[in-house]
Amino acid sequence: MGVSNLKTGLLRKYAAWRGERLQLEVKIAKIEAEYETVEEKRARIARLDELTKATVEIMAEIDPKWSPEHTKPVKPKNQVIPFEHGATTRTAFAIMRELARPTNPAELATLVMERLGGDVSDEDLMDRVKAAIDASLRSAGAEVRVLSTRPTRWEIVPISEV
């Protein structure tokens, strides 16, 4: 009986050690693959330093009151709208239902910003909200339809037509 328990426990540990070894091999392979790109990433950092330095000089010429501290860094390919994830789309659709008429993303962006407490005078944020609304409408499928282009006007499809 004691040998059986020892054998079972040892086999479990053996399997766990082999599994851990496989995990470590995968991690090492990832680290080595990343290490191969270190020089490329250092070169990109140097180029980004050049670009940001040039931008600071140009901005100083365009707007003497601007300073680099006024612009906080933004991670690429990250959500840059300061509202809860999905809030822009939910609010836009709610507003479209309330309006009960065709509307365009630019008009919706202003109404969404006002409802969510955003700064309507921030042109960059307005553009991002408008783009997010436009993308949401285009991916909504059968829930909405385009009534006109130039300007693009959307409406919610009535439930009776779905």
User: Using CA atoms, how far apart are residues 54 and 15, in angstroms rounded to an integer?
Assistant: 57
Question: Does the predicted model carry a pTM greater than 0.85?
Answer: no
Report the half-sphere exposure of 159 (CA within 13 A, side-chain side). 1
- The DSSP secondary-structure symbol of 143 reads G
The yes/no answer on whether domain 87-161 falls in CATH 1.10.10 is yes
- Per-residue pLDDT reduced to its tens digit, 63-78: 999 999 988 887 777 7
* Residue 154 Cα distances to 103, 120, 157, 161, angstroms: 5, 22, 9, 15
Domain parsing of the chain, residue ranges: 2-36, 87-161
Residue ranges for the chain with pLDDT beneath 50: none
Report the candidate in 58, 78, 76 with the shortest Cα–Cα distance to residue 68.
58
- Per-residue pLDDT reduced to its tens digit, 96-109: 999 889 899 999 99
Q: What is the pLDDT of residue 110?
A: 94
Q: What is the pLDDT of residue 25?
A: 97
Q: What is the pLDDT of residue 2?
A: 65
User: Using CA atoms, how far apart are residues 106 and 143, in angstroms rounded to an integer?
Assistant: 19
Q: What is the pLDDT of residue 32?
A: 94
